[in-house]
């Protein structure tokens, strides 16, 4: 079994594509601060041949069970890695977050407000979760979009949300806010933010995107999204553009139903695609799928999360995305209309997903994917593709063999700093 050298930092994933699944914190942004001038470093560092070789060595050291575990990012319950929780026992047959990580060889964890009490507590949690991961350091993520969906709002600067930033028409501000947000998350031990929202909010009756989007103009949104991706890169944390192929023109919330978007292929190219193209061009690490039906892109009736024509045909083959494809939360109603929880996970992998976020039933989903690999329904080569992408992301963000150790002292200096509060105020002004 591969052992990592260090064990404390972590990439915690707390998100649901449309901001649901674990409850969403609605906050109104309030203060902020000005960041230094935007840098020109790429968002997603390119891997060298030596780094690729390191990824291959780690991959070769993983068992099939450990590889399958790398795909999963569930919600865990408790404020410390050793918190005993009846919820963990009931859902995962393991009493503590650390035991769940060990049992399923998890590749990542997602944090919600239920995991957050104080700066020192979150630092202790993320460090403890990393220590529990024996094979490879964790991806630790969260939904910190700012504005309406801000999982860490109890601790972090109240930056304006995407709509307010978009209204400034200043891409430099988008980049600065993303950089500052990333710096605060990184100080807490969170290495992946499920942001920015790349949807174009063209339907004023949209119940789930709305002001979470930068606006209703595809080209303006594209520029803001690209700037935000670069800002997260400046802060050295991973970013995730969501929700592909575009959730902007719907009147149905995919947390509670299955939206259908009836844009033609040309309308998709003109309205929905530009922000995702821009995000990919800016080096985005992750693209998240949407639980919605897009008949002109795939007539099967399956949601995009389970659609190979959309995730592989469009996102990978047409747009050329090489990074990690994440599902939106798999406990949402939009993806659970036709298939059981095990079949959903298998079909998502077959469609092209690499990261399976928040399965409704982790034991069933894990067992189903493992069985599909052993039977050949999911080829071992296909499994290795996803695990390689996940390991490459970890390598690019310095997480392949040793997780960074978060510091409560450093976090206290960074979070809600006067500089960041001034930036938030400058955006509002």
Please tell me whether the overall predicted TM-score, pTM, comes out greater than 0.85 for this model. Answer: yes
Q: Which of 250-254, 261-265, 283-287 has the lowest mean pLDDT?
A: 250-254
273 is a domain residue: yes
Which of 35-49, 391-405, 414-428 shows the highest mean pLDDT? 414-428
191 is a domain residue: yes
Q: Rounded to whole angstroms, how far apart are CA atoms 62 and 388?
A: 11
For the CA atoms of 210, 245, 305, 317, the dihedral, rounded to the nearest 10 degrees, stands at -160
For the CA atoms of 16, 17, 19, 20, the dihedral, rounded to the nearest 10 degrees, stands at -50
**255 annotated active-site:** yes
For residues 391 and 361, is the Cβ–Cβ distance under 8 A? no
What per-residue confidence (pLDDT) applies to 4? Answer: 38
Domain count, the chain: 1
Confidence of residue 18 (pLDDT cuts 50, 70, 90): very low
For residues 165 and 174, is the Cβ–Cβ distance under 8 A? yes
Q: What is the mean pLDDT of residues 27-55?
A: 53
Structure tokens at 320: 């050329």
Distances (CA, A) of 79 to 11, 68, 145: 16, 26, 22
What per-residue confidence (pLDDT) applies to 254? Answer: 80
Domain extent for 289: 49-428
29 is a domain residue: no
**328 annotated active-site:** yes
- The 8-class DSSP code of residue 114 comes to G
Cβ atoms within 10 Å of 45's Cβ, excluding its own: 16
What are the pLDDT digits (tens) for 93-122?
999 999 999 999 999 999 999 999 999 999
Structure tokens at 169: 């028409």
**Length of the chain in terms of residues written:** 429
What per-residue confidence (pLDDT) applies to 234? Answer: 98
4 is a domain residue: no
44 is a domain residue: no
Which position has the higher pLDDT, 390 or 251?
390
128 is a domain residue: yes
Q: What is the mean pLDDT of residues 2-19?
A: 37
Which position has the higher pLDDT, 302 or 29?
302
For the CA atoms of 360, 365, 367, 371, the dihedral, rounded to the nearest 10 degrees, stands at 160
% of residues, the chain, pLDDT over 70: 89
337 contact partners, CB below 8 Å, separation of at least 6: 258, 303
Catalytic residue among 328, 341, 354, 361: 328
Backbone angles phi, psi at 150, to 5 degrees: -140, 90
CA 276 to mean position of chain CA atoms: 15
Q: What is the mean pLDDT of residues 114-137?
A: 97
Catalytic residue among 255, 263, 291, 420: 255
What per-residue confidence (pLDDT) applies to 34? Answer: 37
CATH number for the domain spanning 194: value is 3.20.20.300
What per-residue confidence (pLDDT) applies to 20? Answer: 42
204 is a domain residue: yes
What per-residue confidence (pLDDT) applies to 251? Answer: 80
32 is a domain residue: no
What per-residue confidence (pLDDT) applies to 38? Answer: 37
Q: What is the mean pLDDT of residues 243-262?
A: 89
């Amino acid at each position: 079994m591969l052992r990592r050298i260090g064990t404390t930092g972590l990439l915690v994933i707390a998100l649901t594509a449309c901001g649901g699944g674990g409850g969403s914190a609605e906050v109104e942004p309030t203060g902020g601060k000005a960041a230094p001038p935007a840098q020109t470093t790429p968002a997603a560092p390119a891997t060298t041949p030596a780094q690729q070789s390191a990824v291959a060595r780690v991959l070769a050291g993983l068992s099939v069970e450990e590889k399958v575990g790398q795909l999963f990012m569930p919600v865990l319950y408790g404020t410390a890695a050793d918190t005993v929780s009846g919820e963990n026992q009931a859902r995962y047959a393991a009493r503590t977050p650390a035991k769940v990580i060990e049992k399923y060889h998890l590749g990542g964890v997602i944090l919600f407000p239920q995991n957050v009490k104080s700066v020192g507590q979150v630092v202790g949690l993320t460090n403890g979760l990393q220590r529990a991961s024996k094979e490879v350091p964790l991806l630790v993520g969260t939904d910190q979009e700012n504005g309406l969906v801000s999982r860490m709002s109890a601790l972090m600067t109240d930056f304006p949300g995407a709509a307010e930033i978009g209204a400034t028409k200043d891409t430099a501000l988008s980049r600065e806010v993303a950089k500052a947000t990333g710096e605060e998350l990184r100080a807490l031990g969170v290495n992946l933010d499920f942001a920015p929202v790349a949807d174009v909010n063209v339907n004023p009756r949209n119940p789930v995107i709305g002001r979470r989007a930068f606006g209703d103009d595809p080209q303006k949104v594209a520029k803001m999204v690209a700037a935000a991706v670069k800002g997260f890169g400046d802060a050295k944390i991973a970013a995730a553009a969501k929700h592909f192929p575009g959730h902007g023109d719907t009147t149905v919330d995919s947390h509670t139903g299955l939206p259908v978007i009836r844009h033609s292929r040309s309308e998709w190219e003109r309205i929905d695609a530009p922000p995702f193209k821009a995000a990919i061009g800016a080096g985005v690490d992750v693209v998240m799928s949407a639980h919605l039906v897009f008949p002109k892109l795939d007539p099967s009736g399956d949601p995009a999360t389970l659609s190979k024509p959309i995730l592989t045909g469009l996102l990978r083959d047409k747009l050329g995305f090489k990074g990690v494809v994440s599902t939106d939360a798999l406990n949402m109603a939009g993806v659970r209309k036709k298939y059981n929880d095990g079949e959903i996970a298998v079909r998502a992998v077959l469609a092209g997903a690499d990261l399976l976020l928040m399965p409704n039933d982790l034991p069933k989903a894990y067992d189903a994917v493992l069985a599909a690999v052993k039977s050949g329904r999911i080829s071992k080569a296909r499994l290795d593709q996803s695990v390689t992408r996940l390991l490459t992301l970890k390598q690019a963000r310095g997480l392949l063999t040793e997780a960074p150790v978060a510091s409560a002292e450093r976090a206290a200096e960074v979070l809600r700093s006067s500089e960041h509060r001034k930036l938030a105020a400058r955006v509002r002004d």
